Amino acid sequence: MIASLAARYLSELDMFMRQIVDSAPQEPEFAVMLRYPLGWVDAQGSPYNHPTGKRIRPLLLLLCAEATGGDWRQAIPAAAAVELLHNFSLIHDDIQDDSPTRHNRPTVWKIWGRSQAINAGDAMFSLAYVALQRLAQSTATSPVALKCWDIFNRTCLELTRGQHLDMRFESQQQVTVDEYLSMISGKSAALIGAAAELGALIGSGSENTAAHFASFGYNLGMAFQIHDDILGIWGDPSVTGKSAATDIISRKKSLPVLYGLSKSPELVQVYAKPNFSDADVAEAVRLLNSVNALDYTRQSEEVYYRKALDSLGQGSSGRAYDDLAELSEALFARTY
Amino acid sequence: MIASLAARYLSELDMFMRQIVDSAPQEPEFAVMLRYPLGWVDAQGSPYNHPTGKRIRPLLLLLCAEATGGDWRQAIPAAAAVELLHNFSLIHDDIQDDSPTRHNRPTVWKIWGRSQAINAGDAMFSLAYVALQRLAQSTATSPVALKCWDIFNRTCLELTRGQHLDMRFESQQQVTVDEYLSMISGKSAALIGAAAELGALIGSGSENTAAHFASFGYNLGMAFQIHDDILGIWGDPSVTGKSAATDIISRKKSLPVLYGLSKSPELVQVYAKPNFSDADVAEAVRLLNSVNALDYTRQSEEVYYRKALDSLGQGSSGRAYDDLAELSEALFARTY
C-alpha cells in the first residue's frame, strides 16, 4: 500500500521541494550542496536521481491530512518541511558521528568539508521553514498556518534535545532505560509525531483531532525506533542488509542492551572490554537472550504500538483508520 | 542616545529572551549550552551577567517599530528572534573559523566540543523561530506575523549564502570586489536589513513603508561592514582594541585589500609570500595607501550610507527620521 500512496503523493511532493530549493539564492557550488543530499544531483552537480530514503514522514503527513477529511495537496508545504528538516538533521548528524557515507554515497562533509557542511545543513534547516511558510499561501487558514509553525518549532527543539542526549550517552558510563526512552522520544518520535499532527491539523482544522494524531504518530515513532533496536541485534542480515548483531559490534546503547546491562552483571563485564572479539559478540547475544532481552524489547515495542493504534482510533474511524493502521503495519514489515 | 534607547528596551528584551529559552525542554547540561553564549551563565551553569555584544540589531528593530508609529513592545518577539539568530550564527561561525574565544571567553565548541556545539547552534536557531512565532500571540495581525516569518526565512537563507561565500573565499585565489560585496550583503547586511524591515512592518503594518526601511537597514549594514574593514587596517588600536593593521596580518580579504590587489601588482607580490614579517605588513599598508585604497573604501562606505539615509527619508520624517539618523550616526562613532 505504501507503494500506491507513494505514487499518488511523491511526484507532487518532489516537485514542490524542488521549487522550494530553487527559491533559495543561487550560488553554483552552494546549490549543488543543497541538491546533492536530496538525491537530485551528483557531487559535480549533474542531475540524476539517487534513492535517498523512503520519505516515510511526508507520506504519513499527507495520509493523515486525507484521513481527517482534508485535501492532501493543501498539506504539501508541511510534508516538504518535515522531509527537509529530516534531511537537515542527517547532514549535521553525519558530521557529528563522523560518518563517511549515507545511502551508499559520500556524506556532504566528506565532499565539501565540515565547515561547509555545517552551513549547508543550516541552509536546509532554513528551507524547511521556507516550505512550511507556504502554508500561508495555500488554502490553509492563518490560524492553522501559525499553529503548524508552533508545532514545527517545538519539534525542532525536541530534535536538538534528543541529539544532545544521544551524543552525551556516548561518553556516559551508565545510561538508564528511562534516559534512553527520553532520547529517542526527541531524536526519533518527535518528528513522526509532528508529521501526523501537522497532517491532521491541516486536514481537519481541529486541534482536538490533531492531538490524537500527534499521540498516534509519536507512539508509532517510539515503536518504530524500538523495532529498529531489535533488528540491530536479532535482525536477519539478508533482510536488513547489515551484519548480524551490528548494534553489539558498534556498542550502541540501544534498548535491549541497556536492559541487558541492568539485568546481567556478566554482560556488564563483557561490555567492560575495550575490544570485542567475535566470541564476545556471540557471548553478549547469549547473555541478552538469557535475561529475555528480546521479549522485553518486543513487549516495549508492542506497548507503544498499541498506544499508537488506540490514539488513532480516538481520532479517526472507518476507511481512514484502516488505511493508517495498514500503513503503520507496513512500516514494521521488516522481518526479525 | 544608544544608551538611553538601550535602557528603555534592553531589560524587556532580555526578559523575553529568557522566557523563550526557558520554554525549551530542559536538560541540565543542554540548558547551560544555550544560556552560556547569551552571557547569562558561566560554563558551569552559575548565573552571572557577561557582556556579549551590544544588541544593535534588536535595538534597531525596536526603534524602527516605534519610528513607524507602532508600539515597540509588540515588536519584542521579532527583536528577540533577530538577536537569537545572530547568536546562532556566531556559535556555528566559531566552529567553522576554529575560533577559541569570543567576548573574552572560550567559545561553545571549545568547552563542549564541536558536535555538541553544532547541535547547540541548531537549538539556538530553533529558539529564534520560537521567539518570532510569538508575534502570533501579540497584537500583531496574522498577515503581519506570516509576512514577518517570510522575511525571516529569506534572511536565514541569505546568511547561509554569505557564510558559504566567506568560507569559499579563504581558498579562492582571486576574489573580486563584486564577489566580496555579494558576500557581505548576505553575511552582514541581510540581517540588519531584516531588523529594520521587521520593525517597520510591525510598527506600520505597511509593506511599502517596510520596503523603505529594508533598504535603509540593508545599506546601513553594508556601510557598517565596510567601515569595519577600514578599522581593520587604519583603525586606532587604542580605540578598536585590536592590533594595528590586524586585517593585513590575518590576510583577511576585506574590501580595501581586494581593491588594492586589483590596482597594485606589488601588493599581489607581497600577498604571494607565505608569511608576513612586520616589514611586509608595513609595506602592504604603504602600497594600499599608494593606490588610495582608504579613499576608495571611504567613498564606498559613503555611497551605502547615503543610500541608507535616502531610503530612511522615503519611509519616515520628522522625529522618527532624526532618531534613526542619529542611531545610524552613533553606530559609526568608532574612530579611524
Inter-chain CB proximity B160 and A92 less than 8 Å:
no
What average pLDDT does this structure show over A232-246? 82
Inter-chain CB proximity B133 and A146 less than 8 Å:
yes
Inter-chain CB proximity B146 and A150 less than 8 Å:
no
Whether A119 contacts chain B with CB within 8 A = yes
Confidence of residue A139 (pLDDT cuts 50, 70, 90): low
B positions 42-61 inside 8 Å of A (CB): none
Q: For residue range B276-325, what is the model confidence (pLDDT) as tens digits?
A: 999 999 999 999 999 999 999 999 999 999 999 999 999 877 877 888 88
Q: How far apart are CA B78 and CA B13, in angstroms?
A: 10
Whether B167 contacts chain A with CB within 8 A = yes
**B198 within 8 A of B61, measured Cβ to Cβ:** yes
Q: How far apart are CA A32 and CA A41, in angstroms?
A: 7
Whether A181 contacts chain B with CB within 8 A = no
Rounded to a whole number, what is the distance in Å from the CA of B243 to chain A's nearest CA? 27
Whether A29 contacts chain B with CB within 8 A = yes
Q: Which residue of chain B has the CA closest to A146?
A: B136
Whether A137 contacts chain B with CB within 8 A = no
Annotate B141-199 with DSSP letters as a single string: -HHHHHHHHHHHHHHHHHHHHHHHHHHHHHH-S---HHHHHHHHIIIIIHHHHHHHHHH
Rounded to a whole number, what is the distance in Å from the CA of B4 to chain A's nearest CA? 34
* Letter string b/e over residues B233-251, b meaning 16 or more CB atoms within 10 A of that residue's CB: bbbeeeebeeebbbbbbee
What average pLDDT does this structure show over A99-122? 96
What pLDDT is attached to residue A335?
40
Inter-chain CB proximity A116 and B167 less than 8 Å:
yes
What pLDDT is attached to residue B293?
97
What pLDDT is attached to residue B334?
47
Q: For residue range A42-88, what is the model confidence (pLDDT) as tens digits?
A: 999 999 988 777 888 999 999 999 999 999 999 999 999 999 999 99
Cell of B195: 531588523
Q: For residue range B20-64, what is the model confidence (pLDDT) as tens digits?
A: 999 998 899 999 999 999 999 999 999 998 877 788 899 999 999
Whether B153 contacts chain A with CB within 8 A = yes
What pLDDT is attached to residue A219?
97
Whether B171 contacts chain A with CB within 8 A = no
A186's CB contacts (< 8 A; 6+ apart) are: A158, A159, A160, A161, A162, A163, A165, B25
Inter-chain CB proximity B125 and A127 less than 8 Å:
no
Q: Which residue of chain B has the CA closest to A144?
A: B142
Q: Say which CATH topology domain B1-176 has.
A: Farnesyl Diphosphate Synthase (1.10.600)
Helical residues (DSSP H) of B172-292, grouped into ranges: 177-184, 190-204, 207-234, 237-240, 246-249, 255-263, 265-272, 278-290
Considering only the beta carbons, identify the residue of A136, A159, A161 that sits closest to B27: A161
Looking at B25-29, B209-213, B255-259, B286-290, which range is the least confident one? B25-29
Chosen CATH of B206-336 out of 3.10.20.600, 1.10.443.10, 1.10.600.10, 1.20.1250.20: 1.10.600.10
Confidence of residue A2 (pLDDT cuts 50, 70, 90): low
Whether B22 contacts chain A with CB within 8 A = no
CA–CA distances in Å: residue A174 to residues A292, B12, B44, B186: 20, 42, 22, 45
Interface predicted TM-score (ipTM) of this complex, two decimals: 0.95
Considering only the beta carbons, identify the residue of B125, B152, B164 that sits closest to A116: B164
Rounded to a whole number, what is the distance in Å from the CA of A108 to chain B's nearest CA? 14
Torsions phi, psi for B105 (to 5 deg): -130, 160
From chain A, the residues in CB contact with B90 under 8 A are none
From chain B, the residues in CB contact with A153 under 8 A are 126, 129-130, 133
Rounded to a whole number, what is the distance in Å from the CA of A15 to chain B's nearest CA? 20
Whether A24 contacts chain B with CB within 8 A = yes
Domain ranges of chain B: 1-176, 206-336
Number of residues that make up chain B? 336
Q: How far apart are CA A127 and CA A34, in angstroms?
A: 10
Q: How far apart are CA B129 and CA A197, in angstroms?
A: 19
Q: How far apart are CA A99 and CA A93, in angstroms?
A: 8
Whether B125 contacts chain A with CB within 8 A = yes
Inter-chain CB proximity B136 and A150 less than 8 Å:
yes
How many Cα atoms within 13 Å fall on the side-chain side of residue B257?
26
From chain B, the residues in CB contact with A119 under 8 A are 92, 96, 160, 163-164, 167
Q: For residue range B84-131, what is the model confidence (pLDDT) as tens digits?
A: 999 999 999 999 999 999 999 999 999 999 999 999 999 999 999 999
Q: Is the pLDDT assigned to residue B209 strictly greater than 80?
A: yes
Q: Is the pLDDT assigned to residue A230 strictly greater than 50?
A: yes
Q: How far apart are CA A146 and CA A152, in angstroms?
A: 10
DSSP single-letter state for residue B268: H
Q: Is the pLDDT assigned to residue B134 strictly greater than 90?
A: yes
Q: Is the pLDDT assigned to residue A279 strictly greater than 90?
A: yes
Helix axis angle, B114-133 to A76-97, nearest 10°: 160
